[in-house]
Amino acid sequence: MSTAGSAAKLKRGVGNPLIDPSGVEVGSIDVSCKFEHEGKESEGAVSLAQPKLESLVKPDEVVVRDGKVRCLFRYPLSKPFVATLRAPDGAGNFTRTALVQAICVEYARIYTEEEAKSTVPVDITSPTNLKRNKTNGPYGIWGHGLGDLHLSNIFYVDEHDALVLGIDS
């Protein structure tokens, strides 16, 4: 899906906000969780519907050097958009936990608004469509309910001057 039309409307910000623990800019941050599966420690992505924030690897590490950050939401949306996320309690930066929580809250808001404004039912209406119906609300969500989505990585993309989310379904 091309986001060129959306990107053209974006205002430029201050550049890459992602940092490593020493304060050096990085291109992406890992948001994996550790959990036990069949007696062995494993890693996986964060559920957007039911995030287990306590399982994040390095949850308290500062990953964004500003108290607000632009984030491009594009999957599974037909109409991508950029939201400005704000750190909790006016903090001057985001920890990994705070950033993941803000992303999960925004996705929940997107899905709630879409369902409230769409005239197309969310429920599956065809035996050949095994996922969510494409709705016609402000975001045009298609194919997946919120419970299907997992956040696996976060990237900074200069073209959009925003964080771009690695979402798996």
Can you give the pLDDT at residue 20?
62
* pLDDT tens column, 35-94: 887 888 888 899 999 999 999 999 999 988 889 999 999 999 999 999 999 999 888 999
Phi, psi of 90 (to 5 degrees): 70, 20
Confidence of residue 129 (pLDDT cuts 50, 70, 90): low
Q: Tell me the average pLDDT of the chain.
A: 83
Burial category of 2 from C-beta neighbours within 10 Å (exposed 0-12, middle 13-18, buried 19 and up): exposed
* pLDDT tens column, 11-37: 334 466 766 666 656 678 888 899 887
In the three-class reduction of DSSP (H, G, I as helix; E, B as strand; rest coil), residue 148 is classed as helix
State both tokens at 117: 């404004």
- Sign of the four-CA dihedral 153, 167, 95, 32: negative
The b-or-e profile of 38-63 (16+ CB within 10 A means b, else e) is eeeeeeebbbbeebeeeebeeeeebb
What lies within 8 Å, CB to CB, of 142 at 6+ separation is 76, 77, 78, 132, 133, 134, 135
Are the C-beta atoms of residues 143 and 169 closer than 8 Å to each other?
yes
Can you give the pLDDT at residue 69?
92
Is it true that the peptide bond before 76 is cis, omega within 30 degrees of 0?
yes
Confidence of residue 101 (pLDDT cuts 50, 70, 90): very high
